[in-house]
Amino acid sequence: MEPSAEPTTPAADPGPPPLSLHELESELLGLAGHITAAECGFLRLLAEFDDRGGWCGVGVRSCAHWLTWRAGMSLRTATEHLRVAHALTRLPRITEAFAAGRISYSKIRAITRLAGAEDSVLARLTPTPAATPHTPAPCTTTASPHLGADPTTDPRPGDDSITCDAGDDPGPAR
């Protein structure tokens, strides 16, 4: 009697070698830029969809309600997306930077809260040498409580600011 041969299983495919940390970082930042660009595309379409009444239907009260129903967003998130989407229609240079993935959605939200004149906002949003197309400089915004005031009669012009940090942050704690 011959010894029974053990069935051989093919060696598991080890797959590609793991990425180096630099490659991982590059891949993450590249994807972040693509996500940002896609979000800009979503918001552009959303503004048009709302303007054209695409959301109108039996029982649908607003585009924000349509987004909660069809896209699974909370009402608050949907309302904010619509606010930003409509603001972007008046800010072509900011929209261009957003579409290119150079400014994140969180920064766009802050800018659209402040933006009266697009160029003045962009002039104050000065990227640092550490910023690249996929790694925009960290920015914070400060809005004065009288943001909607007439700039010719506003007693405190210049209270609204956007500050970009050079990156003194040592990074995440480990």
From first to last of its 174 residues, the chain has per-residue pLDDT tens of 566 666 666 667 777 889 999 999 999 999 999 999 999 999 999 999 999 999 998 899 999 999 999 999 999 999 999 999 999 999 999 999 999 999 999 999 999 988 564 555 555 554 544 444 444 444 444 443 333 434 334 333 343 444 444 344 444 443
What is the number of domains present in the chain? 1
Residue 2 lies in a domain: no
Residue 123 lies in a domain: yes
Residue 38 lies in a domain: yes
Q: Tally Cβ neighbours within 10 Å of residue 130.
A: 15
Q: What is the 3-state secondary structure (H, E, C) of 107-152?
A: HHHHHHHHCCCHHHHHHHCCCCCCCECCECCCEEEECCCCCCCCCC
Residue 3 lies in a domain: no
Residue 22 lies in a domain: no
Residue 16 lies in a domain: no
pLDDT (0 to 100) of residue 136: 42
Please give the DSSP secondary-structure letter assigned to residue 156: S
> Which residue range(s) make up the domain with 64?
28-164
pLDDT (0 to 100) of residue 55: 96
Residue 43 lies in a domain: yes
Which pTM value belongs to this model?
0.61
Residue 5 lies in a domain: no
pLDDT (0 to 100) of residue 85: 98
pLDDT (0 to 100) of residue 12: 74
User: Residues 142, 161: contact at Cβ < 8 Å?
Assistant: yes
pLDDT (0 to 100) of residue 157: 37
Q: Tally Cβ neighbours within 10 Å of residue 46.
A: 22
pLDDT (0 to 100) of residue 145: 38
* Cα distance between residue 127 and residue 25, in whole Å: 20
Report the SS3 class of residue 96. helix
